[in-house]
Amino acid sequence: MGFYNIIIKYRFWLSLVAVAAGLGLELSGLAGFWPVFPLYFIALIGIASHFFIGPLRLIQAPMEAGDMAEVERILSTIWFPQLLYTPVRSTYYTIKGNLAMANQDFDTAEKHLKRSSELGSAMPEAEGANKLQLGMMSMQKGDTKQGEAYIRAAIRAGIPDKESEAVAFLSMCQIFMNKREFRAAKDYFRKAKACKPTTKQVIDQIKEIEKYISRMPG
């Protein structure tokens, strides 16, 4: 673990140590307020950054390693997520939502992803991915109208990878097929194929739709 990551991990407790050291020096008469003021200032920065920025930087390595237990442990050190700076809080709820989805807890996932969506994201791509997930969950629940609204919003915001973009276009294609708006359905189908997805599930879905879409008018 890098030095900066160690500081992030232990900054709250190090800040308390700095405050205790400053008070100890003052109360013992070894130093006055101004000589120990830098200790208090460092402690203030450490405590403020702990509550307002949080430890999300530490999540990258365990996420890349697939260690979701460690990701959850790091998130558990965020005691008051409502204090996080807004873009950080949005990312926090997105990660919480993704963890809930991985655990098949779709109600909790939807709750967290909606919070993230309401807060917005500093990165439009992340916002697009978030809205796409909400759209897919709405479709699974049979709420096609809400699903279409979320997927449209995801496409407008921008989706970070071609596989997910293809999924969004295929979903819109199926929505318009069900509406019998065949010209729009074909347009979205072409866009999905243009993404050139490589995931077997997406390719199979394209092949399945292709059996019927060429027979449609429009």
Tell me the per-residue pLDDT of 147-171, one tens digit each, with 9 for 90 and over: 999 999 999 988 888 999 999 999 9
User: What is the domain range of residue 107?
Assistant: 58-143
Statement to judge: residues 48 and 75 lie in one domain: no
Residue bearing the bigger pLDDT, 3 or 84: 84
Statement to judge: residues 82 and 121 lie in one domain: yes
Asked if 40 and 22 touch (Cβ cutoff 8 Å), the reply is: yes
Residue 151 lies in a domain: no
Last residue of a domain, one of 79, 111, 143: 143
Statement to judge: residues 137 and 211 lie in one domain: no
Beta strand segments in the chain, E: none
Percent of the chain, pLDDT > 90?
66
* Confidence grade of residue 1 (pLDDT, cut at 50, 70, 90): low
Domain count, the chain: 3
Percent of the chain, pLDDT > 70?
97
What's the confidence (pLDDT) of residue 196? 94
- Of 90, 94, 54, the C-alpha closest to 74 is 54
Tell me the per-residue pLDDT of 112-135, one tens digit each, with 9 for 90 and over: 999 998 887 656 667 888 899 999
What's the confidence (pLDDT) of residue 218? 62
Using the predicted structure, report yes or no on whether residue 217 has a pLDDT greater than 80: no
What's the confidence (pLDDT) of residue 124? 60
H helical segments located in 28-85: 33-52, 60-64, 68-76
Residue 36 lies in a domain: yes
Integer Cα distance of 171 and 188 in angstroms:
9
Tell me the per-residue pLDDT of 30-89, one tens digit each, with 9 for 90 and over: 988 999 999 999 999 999 999 999 999 899 889 888 898 999 999 999 999 999 999 899
* Confidence grade of residue 92 (pLDDT, cut at 50, 70, 90): very high
Residue 4 lies in a domain: yes
Residue 36 main-chain phi, psi, to 5 deg: -95, 0
